[in-house]
Amino acid sequence: MLIDVVGNGQTNHPRDILWTKAALWHLGRYRHHGELNHYIDRMLHEAIQAYQRDRGLRRDGWIGPNGETEWTLRVELHHCRSEIRR
């Protein structure tokens, strides 16, 4: 669960940024070469907005704790992991 809001101009706890980048990367929505870092970058902001748009969520570029974007990401990740186990 996120500690605080992730997105441009938000609190951006380093652990939350890493989780968000990893989650979007696992879903093929965040492209990053090399090791993931805990900094907000343009690619992350665009990946969040594209994910929100494609899922019919509010397109604000932020992911809040227990918000619809975090919840949707977690559900989708769970389904992806379940498919891999089969």
The model's pLDDT over 22-77, given as tens digits with 9 standing for 90+, comes to 999 999 999 888 888 999 999 999 999 999 999 999 999 999 999 999 999 999 99
Q: What is the DSSP letter of 67?
A: S
pLDDT, one tens digit per residue, over 19-32 is: 999 999 999 999 88
Contacts of 29 (CB under 8 A, 6+ apart): 47, 50, 51
pTM for the complete prediction?
0.90
